[in-house]
Structure 1
Amino acid sequence: MQRLRLEISGAVQGVGFRPFVYRLAHRYGLAGWVSNTSKGVVIEVDGDPEILAQFADAVLNEKPSVSIVQNISSRYLLAAGYSSFKIIKSTGGKREAFVLPDLATCGDCTLEILDPENRRYRYPFTNCTNCGPRYSIINAIPYDRPSTTMSRFRMCHKCRDEYEDPYDRRFHAQPNACPQCGPHLELWDSEGVILAKRDDALRRASDEILCGKIVAVKGLGGFHLITLASSDEAVRTLRSRKGREMKPFALMFPSISLVSEFCMLSPEESESLHSPRSPIVLLRKRDGQDRGTRISELVSPSNPEYGVMLPYTPLHILLMKEIGEPVIATSGNLSDEPICTDEIEALHRLKDIADLLLVHNRPIARHVDDSIVRIFDKREMILRRARGYAPLPLSMDEEAVSVLATGGHLKNTLALSIGKNVFTSQHIGDLETVQALEAFDEVWSSIKDLYNADPEIVAYDMHPDYISSARARESQIRSIPVQHHIAHIYSCMLDSGVRPPLLGIAWDGTGYGTDGTVWGGEYFHLTGETVSRIAHLRCFPLPG
């Protein structure tokens, strides 16, 4: 008889890993315990060495599909004399566990909200350990209900029974709720007057959308502005109010079959749309509009593509079931501002855009926009890393000192390195407004607090006028400037898992060069020790 101790790091919290281990231990007849820690999950079991080896293999090979095991270490110790297997209270410590992204509604939960006999029928906040909010509701690690924005909702006895049953798929599902004990919807007018509540609010909101109104919908990581994609008048009104003249709007379709009527769709694109990440996927338009439903030419003018997503929360699923045709689902903000996350804030910031607001009372801990991807060479190319992807890390080959990178001025994102991992924040956007700068400062603070990190270095773009760079220089941390295009090459190296020596080509917009001139179109030779600019577009004088 021996004791096996497994220490597992990665995305192993909030994915049903502990109940999976509990059931696995009972299958093999092992006694011991499993617990969440600030680093991941720890397991200890007593048993025959041969059985323990089989158990360890099963932990790795049969793990929950949405989990990610980055590292697993094992030790054999003297048996502890455990008499049963338990799931014990989470422990603290240095925070290294991955925070899981928000996940699209799973098939089981979808069936429940569409089943009139189910107690969660048409409940827009249904979730389980396989799906639902994570990053947008978490305040601290370990990932337990008191550390989330669901802490204010006390579970009813039925939800509590599910939460405490290791054989239930809602065992320790931290956002677990039902119509009796969980969040609920309200429909407000633009002054905040309540027009309807709960399911009636959802039905009335869908009716208003079908009538061509613009409704601000509080979703998973912030507000969407939703209106009919088929109505020229509705789209024209949204463009005028939002201050968005030509840039394409994202579309949400009620079904993949309807997507295929309007767009060319490869198996890889379909898989991405259906994935737990459920991003916006850029798809080529089909020619012609010979169908019962149309999409206004104003949605994506002079552009061969649509940005398409499927409904990824119970709220969106139910709303799209009612509407039954494509809608614009664009971020709830004015152009250049971050997405709204709070209903009171939305009353002020969106009152001149939205006719109505469909809100709920589950707080959003941090804004999380929709991610955008393109399928290139049968693989996802992430153009905007946010919901479904952030804050899962990219992995480096070697450990390094902790660095906070503050990003550029446009399409800003922060990144924090801890050990071998680089944790990217959600998309922040262009740092052109007071609201965007407030979001930047909030993300700077929250990403450090979430991982209890104390970075030794702040890396920033060497452009002297970027706000993100000014914030870095103003910090009390050692700061290092990085040339804009060289930063792009290093990012591509990490994303692609390649090492120098190599040739890096940056065909980007302009960037402040190391010689004080404007760069754009650079060839770099990287040796591992040095970066040499070996070719570039010819310089020419500019007015001013």
Structure 2
Amino acid sequence: MTVRHFRVDGIVQGVGFRPFVYRTAARLGLDGWVANVNGHVEGEIAGPSGAVDAFATRLRDDAPPLALVRGVRLTESTHQSPYAPGFQVRNSPPDASGTGPREIPPDAAICAACLRDLRDPDDRRYRYPFVNCTDCGPRATIIEDLPYDRVRTAMRRFPMCGDCAAEYADPGDRRFHAEPVACPACGPTLAWDGLRGEEALHAAVKTVADGGIVALKGLGGYQLVCDARDPRAVAELRRRKHRPAKPFAVMVEDLPAAARLARVGATARAALTSPERPVVLLARRRWHGTRPLAEEVHPGLTRVGLFLPTTGLHHLLLDELDRPLVVTSGNLGDEPIVVDDTTARRDLAEVADGFLTHDRPIRARYDDSVVEFAGRTRITVRRARGLAPAPLPLAVREPVAGVGAHLKHTFTLAADGRAHLGPHTGDLSGLENFEAFRASYDHLRHLTGIGPQVLAHDLHPGYLSTQWATRQPVPRTAVQHHHAHVAACAAEHGVRGPFTGVAYDGLGLGDDGTLWGGEILVATLSGYRRVGRFAHAPLPGGDAAVRHPSRTALGQLFGAETLGVPHPYPWLTRDFTGRLDAAEVSTVRVMLARGVNCPRASSAGRLFDTVAALLGLADQVSYEGEAAALLEAAASDEHAVPLAHHVVRADGLWVYDTTPTLTDLLQRQRGGEPVPRLAAAFHLTLAAVTAELVARAVADGAPRTVCLGGGCFVNRRLLTEVRRRLHAQGLRVLVGEQVPVGDGGISYGQAAVAAARLAGER
């Protein structure tokens, strides 16, 4: 007989791995035991050597669908006495919460088997909203500590009834050691103003059907729900939530329902039906006659964010209402999503017409994940519920952390070759968001056991994340914003040597003290040098210009860096300035002349704002990136020709002079060229400029591997054309896929830079 101790690392807790080990051992006729220990699974196995070898192979190759096996190790066992026949699933030992790598399983959407239970009148979980098994249900949002056992989750307050306990203990049942297992007799219960169970559900259904707004307690926080077809309901939600224009996500029943609203390709279908259930941004169909969605869901845009139900409760709502639903974050404005019942009733009282809640606590805040596709490439816009905090590979040995930037904030904890990207917090601008970041950081640090030796932060001293990092008793390293963007892309794809980075976004502090945002870098993970940029232009009013694209446009037209081409003639700008407030135009001219509160920026994002304003698409915006989204939506594919563009050498850098582009835009606009064609022409122009900047850098010796980063590459039109042109030059082109391409990926890039510097890489 062969006796071996085994250990399995990876995402192997909360995913049905111990039951899988039990069944595998039973089929092979092996004896022994298995348990959750710290963040891994281990045990002992005894039997014929061939069966033991087969056991190890099956652990690697046949793991449950939610598991991610990173390593299987078999070692000599110290067990001396013969094993009793049979195999046991043991409880975690008392000392099982020590140090070492620990991986937290993310939440998983309801599986097909549990959905059948939900809809089967003969099943004891018929219409039970909290149905789950080892293949689905809450994980990260209920875990209080590891190892992952019921007593260390929010489910510890719900003692199992006899039937659930029998399933939990039965190796042949798919709920064998499913920690959130529950039923109507012993589990969480729906509530609505004194009503419980089915009555509570019916009250919520009636409220939505009557045009009202419901605050629903979801997996990772409260959600606000209304009828997506009802213009008045959606408009009222916008008014109450203080969200004038930012698009809402829409939940639909199934793939056919999604296909009626948008064009759903194979990659999108796979994402929509995956256990992660992200919101997927899709091109909406052209609608004739009755609109299947209110225009207020995504005003001015041609793409819509769709997702399928994640829980039994969502399915029950859709079954009853039989219509698409707006399902958006339960918060006000840019505040963090609400997770606490008391806070929800206080903060959302003026938003919701009623609260559909329950008595299972939420232990960690996770908003919905958002993805899109450029061809077959997945672009992660927001990594949250279903995706986070599942670890991503990262070449890191000693523990480090990246504390993120300011917008779309996340943090990253990394050690032992993996990085845990924390939940999306939102814009780190107020006390509520800052406290949400601190709470999430402390919770994930506790669960992972990662105590960073180095904290990486942004260069900007005004960011709350930077200020927090400087107060910690840990060595720190500052990472330039755009270096972090391209380092995130490189690290995700395992690029170790030098690479060329293209970083296009709104604003980030450069190492020269100016604001950057249209940058070409030659970089490694540990450092970089700037080789190209966009021309500088002033931002009248500083941060206020971000919300006023018309001001940004005035700065570009009248104050852009002079690189040999004069600013547009006054007669060309008259149509634009003539439709603006004359006093504002005069004030901006004075500010530009005197250089008062006009920081200069080399920003691709602000150039998008400028063009959107010049074309009359957005003089003011209510959310970051709105002008760029409207510009992309306006663009047509027909007969577009790039605008004039010019790349010059200045101060040792290749510089894109934006003035010829804007002058040509104004001339063609004055000549009657339609807005859709001009919007498309601008996208083609930026792609052509990027290709030229990179070609000039490569000719000077820059690497032929190109890493794209920054929020501008959420723009599918720009990304697709940039990649096409760079591929045509024979370059290797990479873009973030699992790591958010925008500021949500900054912390991962910071952690990658910190790890490289700690390891002494150059």
Task: Give the TM-score normalised by the residue count of structure 2.
Answer: 0.69
Residue-by-residue CA offset, 1:480-525 (whole Å, 9 max, x unaligned): 1111111111111122332322101101111111111111111111
CA distance in 2, matches of 1:288, 1:429: 33
Where 1:404 maps in the other structure, the secondary structure is strand
Other-structure match for 1:48? 48
Give the superposition deviation at 1:446.
Answer: 1.0
Offset of residue 377 of structure 1: 2.6
Q: Following the alignment from structure 2 to structure 1, what is the Cα–Cα distance between the partners of residues 446 and 79?
A: 38
Q: Does the CA contact (< 8 Å) of 1:521 and 1:537 recur in 2? A: yes
Match of 2:485 among 465, 485, 488: 488
Map 1:167-178; keep pairs closer than 5 Å.
167-178=172-183
Residue 142 of structure 2 is aligned to residue 137 of structure 1: yes
Gaps of 5+ in 1: 189-193
Aligned to 1:85: 87
* Structure 1 match to 2:331: 333
Say whether the 8 Å CA contact 2:487–2:525 is kept in structure 1.
no
Q: Is the Cα contact below 8 Å between 2:469 and 2:476 reproduced in 1?
A: yes
Moved more, 110-119 or 490-499: 490-499
Q: Residue 125 of structure 1 corresponds to which residue in structure 2?
A: 130
8 Å contact from structure 2 (residues 458, 478) kept in 1: yes
1:324 CA drift (Å) = 0.5
- Measured after TM superposition, the shift of residue 60 of structure 1 is 1.6
- 1:257-291 CA-partner distances (Å, limit 9, x unpaired): 11111111101111110100000000101001446
Partner secondary structure for residue 534 of structure 1: strand
SS at match of 1:521: strand
SS at match of 1:41: strand
Secondary structure (helix, strand or coil) at the match of 2:35 reads strand
Distance 1:39 1:66 in 2: 15
Q: Which residue of 1 aligns with 2:307?
A: 309
Q: Is the 8 A contact 2:491 2:525 kept in 1?
A: no
For residues 416-441 of structure 1, what are the alpha-carbon distances to aligned partners after superposition, in whole Å with 9 as ceiling and x for unaligned? Answer: 01221111111111112221111011
Question: Are the counterparts in 1 of residues 281 and 305 from structure 2 also a CA contact under 8 Å?
Answer: yes
Name the residue aligned to 1:183: 188
Aligned pairs for 1:108-257 (under 5 A) are 108-188=113-193, 194=194, 196-257=195-256
Alignment-derived partner of residue 451 in structure 2 = 454
Deviation track 1:374-421 (CA, whole Å, cap 9, x = no partner) reads 022313221100011000111124x42211211011100010012211
Q: 1:75 to 1:317 in 2, by over 3 A?
A: same
Superposed displacement of residue 315, structure 1: 0.5
Give the alignment partner of residue 364 of structure 1, picking from 362, 377, 381: 362
The answer to whether the 8 Å contact 2:44/2:77 transfers is no
User: What is residue 319 of structure 1 aligned with on the other side?
Assistant: 317
Percentage of identical aligned residues:
40
Aligned counterpart, 2:375: 377
Letter aligned with residue 363 of structure 1: P
- Given the superposition, is the C-alpha separation of residues 343 and 473 from structure 1 closer, same or farther in structure 2, using an over 3 Å criterion? same
1:440 equivalent to 2:453? Answer no
Residues 189-212 of structure 1, C-alpha deviation per residue, up to 9 Å, x if partnerless?
xxxxx2x21111112211110110
Kindly indicate whether the alpha-carbon contact (under 8 Å) linking 1:488 and 1:506 is maintained by their aligned counterparts in 2.
yes
Question: Could you say what secondary structure the match of 2:88 adopts?
Answer: strand
Q: 1:156 to 1:392 in 2, by over 3 A?
A: same
Q: Does residue 1:473 correspond to 2:470, yes or no?
A: yes
Residue 501, structure 1, aligned to residue 479, structure 2: no
Q: Kindly name which structure, 1 or 2, has the bigger radius of gyration based on alpha carbons.
A: 2
- Structure 1 range deviating more: 90-99 or 207-216: 90-99
Counterpart in the other structure of 2:351: 353
Which residue is equivalent to 2:20? 20
Measured in 1, the distance between the counterparts of 2:165 and 2:100 equals 28
Aligned alpha-carbon RMSD (Å): 1.4
Match of 1:400 in 2: 397
| Counterpart contact for 1:2–1:78, Cα < 8 Å | no
Q: Which amino acid aligns with 1:424?
A: L
Work out whether residues 395 and 421 of structure 1, in 8 Å CA contact, stay in contact via their aligned partners in 2: yes
For the 8 Å contact 1:415–1:425, the answer to whether it is kept is: yes
- CA separation of 1:426/1:527 partners in 2, compared to 1, >3 Å: closer, same or farther? closer
- CA distance, structure 1, for counterparts of residue 484 and residue 42 of structure 2: 37
Instruction: Work out the CA distance in 2 between the residues paired with 1:313 and 1:71.
Output: 31
Deviates more, 1:236-245 or 1:498-507: 498-507
Q: Deviation string for 1:349-385 (max 9, x for gaps)? A: 0001111110000000011100000022313221100
1:310 and 1:87 map into 2 onto residues whose CA distance is 35
With over 3 angstroms needed to count, the CA separation of the structure-2 counterparts of 1:477 and 1:78, relative to structure 1, is closer
Distance, in Å, in 2 between the alignment partners of 1:47 and 1:255 is 47
Cα distance in 1, alignment partners of residues 67 and 131 from structure 2: 20
Q: 1:527 to 1:277 in 2, by over 3 A?
A: closer
Q: CA deviation at 1:539?
A: 3.0
Counterpart Cα distance in 1 of 2:7 and 2:40: 7
Q: Are the aligned partners of 2:276 and 2:385 in contact in 1 as well (CA < 8 Å)?
A: yes
**Structure 1 residue 251, shift from structure 2 partner:** 0.4
Deviations 1:323-353 (A, max 9, x none): 1000110100001100011221111100011
1:75 aligns with 75
State the secondary structure of the residue aligned to 1:387: coil
Amino acid at match of 1:372: V
| Conserved? CA contact 1:2–1:79, under 8 Å | no
Q: Deviations over 1:15-63 (max 9, x none)?
A: 1111111111111111111111113111311122122111211222221
Which letter maps to 2:495? V
Question: How far apart are residue 527 of structure 1 and its match?
Answer: 4.2
Partner in structure 1 of residue 282 of structure 2: 283
Give the unaligned 5+ runs of structure 2.
540-595, 598-762
Structure-2 separation of matches of 1:320 and 1:89: 39
Q: For the residues of structure 2 that align with 1:50 and 1:218, how far apart are their CA atoms?
A: 50
Aligned partners of 1:527 and 1:116: how far apart in 2?
60
Distance 1:152 1:79 in 2: 37
- 3-state DSSP class of the match of 1:58? helix
Q: Give the distance between the partners of 2:59 and 2:113, measured in 1 at CA.
A: 23
Aligned residue type for 1:306: V
Q: Deviations over 1:226-261 (max 9, x none)?
A: 001111111111111111111111101122211111
Letter in 2 for 1:82: Y
Q: Please, what TM-score do these two structures have when normalized by structure 1?
A: 0.96
Structure number with the higher helix fraction is 2
- How much has 1:529 moved relative to structure 2? 5.5
- CA 1:289–1:82 in structure 2 vs 1: closer, same or farther (change >3 Å)? farther
Q: Which SS does the other structure have where 1:509 is aligned?
A: strand
Q: d(CA) in 2 for partners of 1:375 and 1:520?
A: 24
Whether 2:517 is the aligned partner of 1:520: answer: yes
- Deviation at residue 78 of structure 1 after TM alignment: 6.8
Distance 1:514 1:360, change over 3 A: same
Q: Give, in whole Å, the separation in 1 of the partners of 2:533 and 2:378.
A: 29
The question of 1:36 aligning with 2:36 is answered yes
SS of 1:508 mapped into structure 2: strand
CA contact (8 A) 1:269 1:375 kept: yes
Which amino acid in 1 is paired with 2:200? A
| CA offset digits 1:428-457 (Å, max 9, x no partner) | 111122211110111121121112222111
Q: Offset of 1:4 from its aligned partner?
A: 2.1
Counterpart code for 1:509: G
Using the TM superposition, name which of 2-11 and 355-364 deviates more.
Answer: 2-11
Deviations 1:125-168 (A, max 9, x none): 11000000000000111000011001000100000001111111
Aligned residue for 1:57? 57
Q: Which amino acid aligns with 1:380?
A: R
* Cα separation, 1, equivalents of 2:328 and 2:154: 25
Query: Distance between the aligned counterparts of 2:306 and 2:29, measured in 1?
Result: 48
Structure that is richer in strand per residue: 1
In the alignment of these two chains, the number of paired residues is: 536
